[in-house]
Amino acid sequence: MAQATEGILNITNGDCAVEIMSSASLPGRYLPWRDILHEGPVPAGLTLEALSDVRAAAIAGRGWGDGEAIRTSFAERDAILRNAGHYQKIRLWFEQDLYDQLQLLQLLAWFAEHPDEVTALSLICTDQYLGLTTPASLTALLAFEAPVTADQLALGSDAWAAFCADSPEPWAGLLQRDTSALPFLEGTVRRLLEEYPDPRTGLPRTAYQALCLIAQGEQGFSQLFSEYQRTESRRFMGDLGFWGLLVDMTRAASPLLTVGDRLLPSSILADQPFMLTEFGRAVVAGRDTALNRVLPDRWLGGVHLTADNSWCWDSAAQQLSRCDPS
């Protein structure tokens, strides 16, 4: 085990939280994790560094940054984690939403595999959004700090393995377990499952909600994204991810949305109006389904949804099944 020669390592979800920590003069070093793990492949069986290469390529492939810059950032991040044993304490700061909880699972799994890399590991995880707090209110969250327990490490490791599996069945199986050691995990499991196509609409929850909002008249992107955020009890998707989802629905073989003759870039056009196609209107009205017309090509953790590997999640029945496109 490396000798602890430094103070506190604060690991959190991203740069907004780090900026507030810095403004609060919170002691220690700050490490933003940044990765958008609910977007793109997260396959099992890779080292930390190999997975970071996969993640960097996926993020760059979506047009969300320069691939080399992302790889460099991840390499620097991973090197700090590899040297976690040099710190007297590691403090994990994460929120309740899907974005944060997946990051937390990755870290808990890593620490479970490397027990000699930390002398003291603690967690601060509440229902407050760290990036929206003030320096004073963030400092007040220290009252919720608690040591990470063996049960949390074990559950986090199992949940991360389930997330990275090439079938969604282990992830759905977490709903049959006692997940109280990580109070926000059950909601995380359910919300990710809702990103599998619904057996009736053929669409993930986020895509269907976007169509419904556009059908109600919310057409400009900025207002549409704001209204979408209000539909989430635990907001997790950023504007880039939401923009990418809308663009994908305009480019599908059977488009659900249209923007006229304009080819949309990866970067956001704040006032770009979106309109439902006739097919999109039929799906929202329940007269048609996207299940047999919008073939999936999407990664959710380690699961690659394709025409030959299509899964559905029925939220009403709480049931996972193979999609039936007939």
Mean pLDDT, residues 34-57 taken together: 96
Supply the DSSP symbol for 90: E
Distances (CA, A) of 296 to 181, 192, 204, 236, 254: 34, 16, 10, 22, 12
Query: Among residues of the chain, what percentage have pLDDT more than 90?
Result: 78
Mean pLDDT, residues 147-168 taken together: 98
Which residue reads 């996926």 in tokens? 58
pLDDT in tens, 127-137: 989 988 999 99
Q: What are phi and psi of 300, to 5 degrees?
A: -125, 100
Per-residue confidence (pLDDT) for residue 296, from 0 to 100 = 82
The answer for 301, left when phi > 0, alpha when psi is -120 to 50, beta otherwise, is left
pLDDT in tens, 186-235: 999 999 999 999 999 999 999 999 999 999 987 788 889 999 999 999 99
pLDDT in tens, 225-283: 999 999 999 999 898 899 989 989 998 889 999 886 565 665 666 677 889 999 999 99
Is residue 183 within 8 Å of residue 104, measured between CB atoms?
no
Per-residue confidence (pLDDT) for residue 187, from 0 to 100 = 97
What distance separates the 2 farthest-apart alpha carbons in the chain? 65
Task: Select from 42, 5, 17, 66 the least CA-distant residue to 159.
Answer: 42
Is residue 60 within 8 Å of residue 70, measured between CB atoms?
yes
